[in-house]
Chains A and B, each alone.
Chain A
Amino acid sequence: QSALTQPRSVSGSPGQSVTISCTGTSSDVANYNYVSWYQQHPGKAPKVMIYDVNKRPSGVPDRFSGSKSGNTASLTISGLQAEDEAEYYCCSYAGRYTFEFGGGTKLTVL
């Protein structure tokens, strides 16, 4: 069982928006602004899409955005495109140089 809780799956049609939640505790998500999100296509390594709750690395489309409220972080993908179909993982720093990941959410673009 993963330390952070994500929905198993979400779906949306092209052009729509979807939001993936990531629920932690006062020891991780709520206590640190080091929440990151990773996109993973089948057979590929993960790729960071959001870091520090709401920052995007260069090259990541601005359709991807992140936020946090209390112990829940969220990833929103607007203007869904077919290539966004993938597994998404949240991650939070949990203190003492340790990290926790969520169980992953499969995004299906209908």
Chain B
Amino acid sequence: EVQLVESGGGLVQPGESLRLSCAASGFIASSNYMSWVRQAPGKGLEWVSLIYSGDKIYYADSVKGRFTISRDSPKNTLHLQMNSLRAEDTAVYYCATIQTGRFDDWGQGTLVTVSS
């Protein structure tokens, strides 16, 4: 059974950094397309970033240059390093697997709050 468990969220001030993790089990994360999707409080879903087996990496324009997606293959874990955080980055961050154009399995999410 595929399981994704996010961690690392919390309250930070504008300009600070935070690193999210997504522990995967039931499959090999490094062999799959993986993504981060976020949801601001009371708002819709927003695709953030994607990494796939060739270590090809893509970002939404809203986070490009500030966020870095990576994975730790031995630990079967996906990461999202978030720098220069802004109030508008406040959201629940989900990690998800991607299968042919769809977000298949999702974690439970971790809340990031950026506020002074």
Contact of A96 among B58, B102, B109 (CB under 8 A): B58
- The CA-CA distance from A108 to B56 in the complex, in Å, is 41
Contact B101 A34 (CB under 8 A): yes
Q: Describe B's contact surface by its main secondary structure.
A: strand
- The CA-CA distance from A100 to B94 in the complex, in Å, is 15
Question: How near does chain B come to A51, taking the closest CB pair, in angstroms?
Answer: 4
- The CA-CA distance from A48 to B62 in the complex, in Å, is 24
Given A45-B94, A51-B101, the answer on whether A101 and B44 have CB atoms closer than 8 Å is: yes
B11 interface contact, C-beta 8 A: no
- The CA-CA distance from A63 to B37 in the complex, in Å, is 27
How many A residues touch B, CB cutoff 8 Å?
A: 25
Contact A91 B106 (CB under 8 A): no
What residues of B have a CB within 8 angstroms of the CB of A98 in the complex? 47, 50, 58, 60
> For B37, B45, B94, B100, which residue has the most chain A Cβ atoms within 10 angstroms?
B45
Q: List 28 A-B contacts (CB under 8 A).
A: A2-B44, A32-B101, A34-B100, A34-B102, A36-B103, A38-B45, A38-B103, A45-B109, A46-B103, A46-B106, A48-B103, A48-B104, A51-B102, A52-B100, A52-B101, A52-B102, A57-B104, A91-B47, A91-B103, A96-B58, A97-B56, A98-B47, A99-B47, A101-B37, A101-B45, A101-B46, A101-B47, A102-B44
